[in-house]
Amino acid sequence: MSRVWNFSAGPAALPEEVLRQAADEMLDWQGSGMGVMEMSHRGKEFTAIAAQAEADLRELLAVPANYRILFMQGGAIAENAIIPMNLMGGRRVADYVVTGAWSQKSQKEARKYAEVNIVATSEASGFATVPPMTDWRLSADPAYVFTCTNETIGGVEYPFEPDLTQIGCGEVPVVADMSSHILSRAIDVAKYGLIFGGAQKNIGPAGLTIVIVREDLLGRAMPHCPSAFDYKTVADNGSMYNTPPTYAIYIAGLVFQWLKREGGLAAVEAHNIAKAKLLYDFLDASDFYENRIDPACRSRMNVPFFLKDESLNEAFLAESRAAGLVQLKGHKSVGGMRASIYNAMPIAGVQALVDFMRDFAARRG
């Protein structure tokens, strides 16, 4: 067997230890005589798996007791509708910070359910930065302020946690799409009303959506909100109102245990800083490649870069693939290349990429 260095933006590489454990347990989970995919979600085996996964996630992110963790389906794009359906609570306006393709899509979807006010946008910079909070113009009484704290396509990450107390609006809940950097760094959950993300980048398989929501925001859903997407219904039923994505929850649970063995989020964050520094320092020192994002807002997880001579793109992709480095093609809306280096990518993988890029530049430069 030979594994490649996989730089996919998602679904993305998983820790090899986790895949090996899942393989070992495929036919017989811990002496139960069945695999996890075959278990009733209400049986004692699976309820133990789900409870452990939730407890480990709560511990890793230090989620306060007044927040509920929900395991849902639908992905982050469905949450773009589910969030206003649950949080408008009779208010008229929802506020959005637009920093790239994903928050743009979120505000567009919200317009079906709310009047949307754009609090700030970095569009004028080509979405290369994050507008500082001093430039945010909240509406008079917004139901919430929506942020996407890591823009997967643009490669832009908030260099600060959105803390509305700093601009005198601490009572407004902050919603954050953390799909592509959740668990990559320590965060202060108490700064947010709701955190959500699809699992398929930094957590586990596609099909699982994580929602972490402050309890006082439950019970406000619009009457036509589907029951399976009403946060209160999901919370009251321990994420088992409908059948949850059981296998994805199991794999996510193995990833949470792996993160704990790695030393928790402080250790994981230090590792991610070192990985990102290795790649960005190389890009900055090169006259063959470039990254075009404001250095203060560069994502540690998604690193878009360009060859200055774009006629070499196809050769770069073909040769990198032959060298065992895959999924480096940039998103079609941006072009160029993108290396996604989530938690499961070891520094050896980033080093292999830098070594290849240096060699390619020497040969073609």
**153, 104 contact by CB (below 8 A):** no
Annotated binding site: 42, 102, 152, 177, 200, 242-243
| Token code pair at residue 310 | 């774009």
d(CA 299, CA 319): 25
Contacts of residue 346, Cβ cutoff 8 Å, sequence gap at least 6: none
| Residue, CB closest to ligand PMP | 75
Annotated binding site for L-glutamate: 42
Site residues (CB under 6 A) for ligand PMP? 10, 75-77, 102, 148, 152, 177, 179-180, 198
CB 48, min distance to ligand PMP, A? 27
Residue (209 or 286) nearer to ligand PMP, CB:
209
Can you tell me whether residue 302 is helix, strand or coil?
A: strand
- Cβ burial of 25 (10 Å; 0-12, 13-18, 19+) is middle
CB 70, min distance to ligand PMP, A? 15
Buried b or exposed e, range 71-80, using 16+ CB within 10 angstroms: bbebbbebbb
Of 353, 322, 352, 359, residue with least CA distance to 339: 353
Residue (148 or 225) nearer to ligand PMP, CB:
148
Torsion from C-alpha of 326, 328, 74, 59, nearest 10 degrees? 80
CB 78, min distance to ligand PMP, A? 6
d(CA 138, CA 172): 10
102 is catalytic: yes
**175, 147 contact by CB (below 8 A):** yes
CB 180, min distance to ligand PMP, A? 4
> Which of these is catalytic: 5, 29, 95, 102?
102
Annotated binding site for pyridoxal 5'-phosphate: 102, 152, 177, 200, 242-243
Contacts of residue 111, Cβ cutoff 8 Å, sequence gap at least 6: none
What angle (nearest 5°) sits at the alpha carbon of residue 82, between those of residues 81 and 88? 90
CB 155, min distance to ligand PMP, A? 11
216 is catalytic: no
Residue (92 or 111) nearer to ligand PMP, CB:
111
Q: What is the largest CA-CA distance in the chain?
A: 63
Residue (88 or 203) nearer to ligand PMP, CB:
203
284 is catalytic: no
> Which of these is catalytic: 95, 136, 201, 230?
201
Which positions are annotated as active-site residues?
102, 177, 201
